[in-house]
Amino acid sequence: MRRVVLALMLSLALVVAGAAPALAQNSPVEIVNWWTAGGEEDALIALFEVFRDQHPEFEPISSAVAGGAGTDAKAVMITRLVGGNPPDSFQVHGGAELFHSYVDPGFMQPVTHLLEEWDVVDDFNPEILDLVRGEDGEIYSVPLNIHRSNVMWTNQRILEEHGLEAPETIEEMFDVFEALEEAGVTPLALGDLNRWPTLHLFENLMLATMGPEDYNALWDGTVTFDHEGLREALELLDQALEYVNPDHAALDWQGAAELLVEDEAVFNVMGDWAEGYFRAVGWEPLEDYGWTTVPGTEGNFMVVTDTFGLPEGISNPEGARAWLQTVASREGQDAFNPIKGSIPARIDPDVERYSIYLQSSIEDFAQDNLTPSIAHGSAAPEGFVSEFEDILNEFVTVRDVDHTLDRMQTIAGEYLN
Ligand code: BGC
């Protein structure tokens, strides 16, 4: 109590003496994000540490809205922006999500001049900058990382116990699934409580059946949703669903990854934030967990990128700019990404700080075909993504390929033309 009174007297004295008001010190910078899982939150804390070191006059405040892939955070953001109550900065996927939901309706300020002032434009991967650059040539948010969607994680112990190896082709995948099923082990962990993990799995099957060129051409309308690869991908999904855990509808993505950790399932198709989670629970690469590209997608990299922008009408513009400078910095990216399970959006990482998996991801990103994730906002507008998720979740229960294809073609016509 005495300390509080003393602090109050001190700040009063400072104000009376005309010194900077106490509030100018450590002024809060509110950052909306959805990083609440193991690995995710630790990574954000590490980034905040760099922010405090680089800009001690500001204090980051995390407004985290739980729900993988931003399920709930995206809704909160729209409500806040429409209501004129923006946070100082917020997590947003580069690509269609950024532009359709936020830039086009006029909620965002460009950040090109800031990146130029800090002389960092050329430090970013140009392909990732393309996902945050508008048709007017302006950059609208700062990419922090690159996640990969097309990874199949493995429980190494169970594989070894059964003398099996991670499959490379789709045919091998179903052979391994069958062998595990016969041995009484759940082959594929799925947690589709929040709907998007089914789409996450499906987008990778689409990439496998359509190939990168046709998959990419879906988003500019040069390939349409009557492509034969979509039917094949649905048939593969139908087959894969025979091998998932029966409680999939009750689990979120982390719950599904946990099935591997608990030795209750062998494979999980999930973005590499799962690596952040495995490491957070003390799992060791190659000993406890392994990885392979989703069978049929070798040589391709399904891209997910988390970025931060500068909303209009914010309460702490200087704090927001300082935050973005940390997000854009090599120190910030190298503190955050090794813990998060992502690679930096910059081209100059301190590679030694990254796990053996992430080092392989850095190499793959440089040489693979890049394809934008649907489930994580880069390929298509939010309205399409949300309806696509609904359609796939209906498919999980009804399993009607023709009906599902019809519905997909209808929403493609509505949102993508
Ligand atoms: C985000 C990741 C996050 C994952 C699970 C993805 O959409 O890009 O940063 O870890 O969702 O929440």
Q: What is the pLDDT of residues 333-392, one digit of tens each?
A: 999 999 999 999 999 999 999 999 999 999 999 999 999 999 999 999 999 999 999 999
Residue minimizing CA distance to atom 9 of ligand 1: 306
With bands split at pLDDT 50, 70 and 90, how would you rate the model's confidence at 323? very high
Residue type, 20: A
Nearest CA to ligand 1 atom 5: 68
What CA dihedral angle connects 214, 70, 305 and 249, to 10 degrees?
-50
- The whole-angstrom separation of Cα 248 and Cα 189 is 8
**Nearest by Cα to 286 from 185, 152, 149, 157:** 157
**3, 13, 94, 142, 224 from 98: Cα distances, Å:** 46, 46, 6, 11, 23
pTM: 0.94
pLDDT in tens, 32-54: 999 999 999 999 999 999 999 99
Torsion over CA: 102, 105, 106, 112 (sign): positive
Task: Evaluate whether 168 touches 154 at the Cβ level (below 8 Å).
Answer: no
Q: Is 306 in the pocket of ligand 1 (CB under 6 A)?
A: yes
User: Shortest CA distance to 240 belongs to which of 212, 272, 202, 208?
Assistant: 202
Give the Å distance between the CA of 36 and the centre of ligand 1: 10
Nearest to 337 by CA among 273, 254, 405, 415: 273
Per-domain residue ranges of the chain: 28-147+304-372, 148-302+375-415
Give the number of other CB atoms < 10 A from CB of residue 187: 22
pLDDT at position 417 is 73
Does the pLDDT of residue 3 top 60, yes or no? no
Cβ-contact 325, 114 below 8 angstroms: yes
Nearest CA to ligand 1 atom 12: 68
Residues 6+ apart with CB under 8 A from 363: none
Which atom belonging to ligand 1 lies closest to the Cα atom of 147?
8
What b/e string do you get for 130-156 counting C-beta neighbours within 10 Å, with b at 16 or more?
ebbbeeeeebbbbbbbbbbbbbbbbbb
User: Which tens digit of pLDDT belongs to each residue from 140-166?
Assistant: 999 999 999 999 999 999 999 999 999
**Three-state DSSP class for residue 105:** coil
Chain position carrying tokens 């049929």: 296
Which atom of ligand 1 lies closest to the CA of 39? Answer: 10
* Pocket lining: 170 vs ligand 1, CB cutoff 6 Å: no
The C-alpha atoms of residue 297 and residue 293 are separated, in whole angstroms, by 6
Assess contact for 232 and 209: CB atoms under 8 A. Answer: yes
**Per-residue pLDDT tens for 384-416?**
999 999 999 999 999 999 999 999 999 999 999
| Residues 196-248 pLDDT 10s | 999 999 999 999 999 999 999 999 999 999 999 999 999 999 999 999 999 99
Class of domain 28-147+304-372: alpha beta
Residue whose CB lies within 8 A of the most ligand 1 atoms, among 273, 327, 382, for a mutation test: 273
Domain 148-302+375-415 sits in CATH at: 3.40.190.10
- Distance (Å, whole) CA 37 – CA 27: 27
Q: How far is 270 from 253, CA to CA, in rounded Å?
A: 8
Ligand 1 atom nearest to 37, measured from its CA:
12
Q: Please tell me the distance from the alpha carbon of residue 312 to that of residue 316, in angstroms, as a whole number.
A: 11
Question: DSSP for 263-326?
Answer: TSEEEEE--THHHHHHHHTTPPBTTTEEEEEPTT-TTEEEEE-EEEEEETT-S-HHHHHHHHHH
pLDDT of residue 18: 38
Same fold for the domain at 28-147+304-372 and the one at 148-302+375-415?
yes
